Amino acid sequence: MSQLALVIDLNTCVGCHACATNCKAWNTQGDYGPLPDTDPYGKNPHGVWFNRVQTYEVGKFPQTETMYLPKSCMHCKDAPCVEVCPTSASYKRVEDGIVLVNYDDCIGCKYCSWACPYGCREYDELEGVMKKCTLCVDRIYNDHLPEAERLPACVLACPSRARIFGDIDDPNSEASKRIREGMGYKLLSEMGTDPSNHYLPKRKVNIDIDEDDLRAKKHFKVELESKILSYKEQAAEDIAAP
């Protein structure tokens, strides 16, 4: 029994919104119909898409950092939205753990969006149903796409490779490995929803160099300097005579 989910590396995310744009593009032109986009150039634009990126400033100056949070449906293992849906339109797939909405059954009562603590569900006025991140279920099982592109649109779009897609119940998958090694955590874990999407925290990479190491490796430093000099000479030759 697998649980497909996203692992988002906040250390690498630069808040470019490529994932949000790509998500909207794929879901507007994909299998499940257009998403509303009312008055896009006017005074009151309103639209629906599934992956929203918020920007936060953490800390007080000068110890501040900017944090970008791309947030979409967490595909919770104990999803409160599935529990409260009256028509069984909101369901969690058994084979891969993706939480989906059946647009033929949904009556648009908005109860599931009230039950979601992350604010990941939105109401589509045009169709009168609730919509949310589908984990690109129409991409990952799509035989018409080449093997390497059978990934969610946001994962393919991210220029800094901050989004990883995989099975978090399989300890050997890339996603599980990144969670284990990158100290992956869940949002609002105390709320009891057990989300599947994990976030890798921001971390500063420090290399501690000991003085004893430097003393011992002095000859190494000299060797390295001579190598750098030879590389520079080589490069100058290449530029002079391409």
66 binds another protein (CB under 8 A): yes
Burial of 5 (0-12, 13-18, 19+ CB in 10 A): buried
Sole binder of another protein in the list 31, 46, 224, 231 (CB under 8 A): 46
47 binds another protein (CB under 8 A): yes
For the CB of residue 26, give the shortest distance to another protein in the complex, in Å.
18
For the CB of residue 56, give the shortest distance to another protein in the complex, in Å.
5
117 binds another protein (CB under 8 A): yes
33 binds another protein (CB under 8 A): no
| Tokens 């909207």 belong to residue | 24
Sole binder of another protein in the list 28, 77, 93, 109 (CB under 8 A): 109
6 Cβ contact partners less than 8 Å away, ≥ 6 residues apart: 72, 135, 152, 154, 155, 163, 164, 165, 175, 197, 198
> Is-contact 108 130, C-beta < 8 A?
yes
* Contacting range for another protein; rule: CB under 8 A; set: 105-113, 140-148, 165-173, 214-222: 105-113
3-state secondary structure of 185: strand
Half-sphere exposure of 155 (CA within 13 A, CB side): 20
50 binds another protein (CB under 8 A): no
Residues 117, 120, 121, 123: what is their CA dihedral angle, to the nearest 10 degrees? 120
Sole binder of another protein in the list 14, 34, 54, 231 (CB under 8 A): 54
Closer residue to another protein (CB): 44 or 206? 44
